[in-house]
Amino acid sequence: MLNTPDAVPTDPFAGAPARSRMAAQTLAGQLAERFAARIRDHLLAPGARLPSVRHCAAQQGLSPSTVVAAYDLLLAQGLVQAQRNRGFFVRERAPLRAASLEAVASPEPVRMAAPISAATLIRGMFHPTGSRPQPGAGVLPPEWLETTFMSAAVRKVSGHAALAEVSLRYGEPQGDGQLRRVLATRLQSLGLHAGPGQIITTVGATHALDIVSRTLLKAGDAVMVEEPGWAVEFARLDALGMRILPVPRGPAGPDLAVMARYCQAHAPKLFVSVSVLHNPTGQCLSPASAHRVLQLAQQHDFHIVEDDTYSHIAPEHATRMSVLDGLQRTIYVSGFAKILVPNWRVGFLVAPPDLIERLLDTKLLATLTTPSLLERALAHCIESGQLRRHAERIRSRLDTTRARSVKLAQAAGCRFVTEPSGLFGWVDTGVDTEALAQRMLDEGYLIAPGSLFHAARAPSTLMRINFATTQDAAFWKIFRRLSDGARQRSCAP
């Protein structure tokens, strides 16, 4: 290899062939193709800024003129656009409509271009980058979820006669009756009293959220969402044409003053909340905040969807608005993907009796029914106590790994901005995590930058980590090296 600025002895893109002057494609072409592949795979979100020419040249061991040529190729392909004095950005797709906090008193929410991509997050979390645990993942590692009782439950409910019963005809519209009865009993242990007739099973918790939105909202309605929050929920509501009103989430719950101003100015129809083990902060709603939110809902006539996805690993006696409200203005949503069976896609919603028929109509129009076989097998796992014992083991294991992950993160220069709890940690890295995410991807690691968790994307030094997948000291060593390098570059004259 020639000893020139364009000589690259090793490829910084993990798992890719090394760039070489001997390759048929030019160095600029090879670099452009690597960026193009990331854009096509949704690992570079619309609106994401490419590294500056100077930084990219330094990172990749190339001359600035080679990087410029690569960026020109991306421009010609229509994958990026240049902004004068700002740099190169991945081309926008459909913009997300979000109201700025400064404009909450205006007659209409300001429509802001927010290039967050739920597809980027989903594809990125499950994109095969190798066998390493991925710090940005939103789920527990598969080996944590391995059990013997799930397969036994399937065998139990799939004998010849039983298999015919649940397979050769459509199931009950609201979902398998046995599962709904078991769920009603389990919910009572949380203090939520609802009969099987108030429960509708769904294809995962996300489907339940979608049923609620499609039933209660129409295009143009205003919806309050917590920020930081779940990127998929932001994008899903935007795709339905809703006006998104981001409410800052604090240690005790949503910012009540902002919610009150939104209620006065925009008459929102819905508030979507993760009360317990909020994603990404891990915070839990305080009783005082819960009561005040319920008062606002009563006063301003909106519904509350409470997403309790992490109920199985939640602390005992956690505050839930649906319990305090008795399912008057609240709709409770949960599922089993996080704790047991991600690919079974079994979720459910619990709603006031007067909404059940409307919600059921929406489910029937979208999916007809849900798979009775898997629902009945899950009912057996719950009724026998196997799910409860499995969840206890997961909580114990998570407590141990969380303590180790916190020490590793702090040793790598991170600061926890919220008390570590649940599955996720919300940390301040001190550097732009969106830029850092691309560097970490070069090393084979996916991280979840803070900008993904805001309705209107802006540079952020925050990052969400999964406590179960951040036990690898090698990851933190690479993270420290790259974040220190980014810090030095930002301080350079």
- Token look-up 């084979």 returns 444
- Round to whole Å and give the CA distance between 266 and 161: 55
Q: Give 49's DSSP letter.
A: B
CA distance 164 to 167: 5
Give the tokens for residue 391.
């969840």
pLDDT, tens digit (0-9, with 9 covering 90-100), for 242-296: 999 999 999 999 999 999 999 999 999 999 999 999 999 999 999 999 999 999 9
Q: Decide if 319 contacts 293 (C-beta within 8 A).
A: no
Q: How far apart are CA 238 and CA 240, in angstroms?
A: 5
What's the confidence (pLDDT) of residue 293? 98
DSSP letter string, 323-376? HHHTSSSEEEEEESTTTT-GGG--EEEE--HHHHHHHHHHHHHHHSS--HHHHH
Q: Which of residues 42 and 484 earns the better pLDDT score?
A: 484
Residue 4: exposure state from Cβ atoms within 10 A (0-12, 13-18, ≥19): exposed
DSSP string over 173-214: TT--HHHHHHHHHHHHHTT----GGGEEEESSHHHHHHHHHH
The answer, yes or no, to whether residue 5 has pLDDT greater than 70, is no
Mean pLDDT of 178-185: 96
Q: What is the DSSP string of 222-267?
A: EEEEEES--HHHHHHHHHTTPEEEEEEB-SSSB-HHHHHHHHHHH-
* Residues with Cβ within 8 Å of residue 295, at least 6 apart in sequence: none
Residue tagged 């061991």 (tokens): 61
Whether 161 shows a pLDDT value over 80: the answer reads: no
The letter for the amino acid at 310 is Y
Q: What is the spatial distance between Cα 90 and Cα 95, in angstroms, rounded to a whole number?
A: 13
What's the pTM? Answer: 0.81
pLDDT at 16 over 50: no
Query: Taking the C-alpha atoms of 53, 58, 60 and 64 in order, what is their torsion angle to the nearest 10 degrees?
Result: 40
* Summary mean pLDDT of the chain: 85
**The predicted structure's pLDDT at residue 219:** 93
Give me the mean pLDDT over the 356-372 stretch: 93
Average pLDDT (15-22) is 45
What are 233's two structure tokens?
């929920």
Structure tokens at 154: 């399937």
What would the mean pLDDT of 149-153 be, rounded to a whole number?
90
Closest listed residue to residue 82, CA positions, set 69, 71, 95: 71
Of 91 and 120, the one with more pLDDT: 91
Find out whether 6 and 66 touch, Cβ atoms under 8 Å.
yes
Tell me: cis bond preceding 246? Omega within 30 of 0 counts.
no
Q: What is the pLDDT of residue 109?
A: 46
Show the domains of the chain with their CATH numbers. 1-93 (1.10.10.10), 117-143+389-491 (3.90.1150.10), 147-384 (3.40.640.10)
DSSP H or E segment with residue 145: helix 142-145
Please say if the pLDDT value at position 15 is more than 70.
no
What's the average model confidence in pLDDT over 161-188? 87
Are 399 and 467 within 8 A, CB to CB? no
Give mean pLDDT, residues 433-437. Answer: 88
| 228 or 134, which is more confident | 228
Max CA distance (Å), the chain: 76
pLDDT at 424 over 80: yes
pLDDT more than 90, % of the chain = 55
* The pLDDT value given to residue 121: 54
User: pLDDT confidence of 123, banded at 50, 70, 90?
Assistant: low
Residue 159: pLDDT above 90?
no
Residue 13 has pLDDT above 50, yes or no: no
For residue 12, pLDDT beyond 50: no
Reduce the DSSP state of residue 8 to 3 states and report it: coil
- Closest to 65 in 3D by CA, of 23, 19, 28: 28
Residue that has been written with the tokens 């993904």 in this structure: 452
Cβ–Cβ under 8 Å, residues 49 and 435: yes
Listed residue (144, 140, 117, 93) closest to 437, CA to CA: 117
Window from 299-313, 393-407, 426-440 with minimum mean pLDDT? 426-440
- Of 327, 367, 374, the closest CA to residue 350 belongs to 327
- pLDDT category at 6 given cuts 50, 70, 90 is very low
| DSSP string covering 88-116 | EEEPP-SPPPB--GGGTTSSS--------
**Could you give the CA distance from residue 451 to residue 449 in angstroms, rounded to a whole number?**
6
- What kind and span of H or E run contains 462? strand 462-466
Q: What is the pLDDT of residue 171?
A: 82
Higher pLDDT, 187 or 44: 187
Predicted local confidence at residue 107, as pLDDT: 39
Q: What is the pLDDT of residue 10?
A: 33
Lowest mean pLDDT among 7-16, 79-88, 382-391, 415-424: 7-16
For 357, phi then psi, to 5°, come to: -65, -40
- pLDDT of 19 over the 60 cut: no
